Amino acid sequence: MAERLQKIISQAGLASRREAEIMITAGRVKVNGKVCTELGVKADPNKDKISVDGKPIKSEKLVYILLNKPRGVVTSLRDPEGRRTVTSLLTDVTERVYPVGRLDYNTEGLLLLTNDGELTHALTHPSHEIAKTYHAKVLGHPADAKIDKLRSGLRLEDGMTAPAHVHILSYDREKDQTLVEITIHEGRNRQVRRMFDVIGHPVRNLKRVKMAFLTLAGLGRGQYRLLESQEIGALKALADKK
């Protein structure tokens, strides 16, 4: 069945749909030996010969992985500084997978990886408002008024944040640290850390514990598992809502 080129490239696990569009307009994609730069072109992956950068597209088995990312690991496929990457932890995964969103170097916890470019694009698009829950250990004991600022939204250098769900879980008087649970649905760079900086309580440790309905139950640091079929179906249903 004929489909748009960017969808075919995405489903082959080479890139997200947006990245595939860039490949096409840059003249990196050929269909039956001819360079194609138009985004509306369709092809049949079972009949047409499609290549990216001269390499034929091969359909790959789609895999969906839930990883408990440790601190000190980079959320990328490679790192010029030679630091450990999340994909280096996937010792028995042969498919080339990509992170769904990012966790910064010093943030640990739940990270999805897949070669399903369509799902990646959907889950990371702001319109789908996929909830992400973090446990943040912050310096000091935030007053109620400051927590209310997180709940109502506050201004960062890249604009106002959407309202967050925030609960104080505990306070360690000896260390003068508070454990706070915060749920957001945006995906800005280092957003949670920047939000707590604004209210004057910098984050000392940050862990993502939930994404949509997925949790880290049963997974130790650095461990991972394949998603079950019903979990994949539920994620796709979330992605199709808007």
Q: Report the SS3 class of residue 146.
A: helix
Please report, in tens digits, the pLDDT of each residue of the chain (242 residues total): 688 888 888 777 677 778 889 999 999 999 999 999 988 888 887 788 899 999 888 767 889 999 999 999 999 888 888 899 999 999 999 888 889 988 999 999 999 999 887 788 888 877 778 999 999 999 999 999 999 999 999 999 999 999 999 999 999 999 999 999 999 999 888 999 999 999 999 999 999 999 999 999 999 999 999 999 999 999 999 887 65
> What is the pTM for the complete model shown?
0.80
CA distance 123 to 129: 8
Give the catalytic positions in this structure.
104
CA distance 122 to 8: 16
Check: CB of residue 119 under 8 Å from CB of residue 235.
yes
CA distance 73 to 102: 11
Buried b (16+ CB within 10 A) or exposed e, 55-66: eebeebebbbbb
Residue 33 has phi, psi (to 5 degrees) of 85, -5
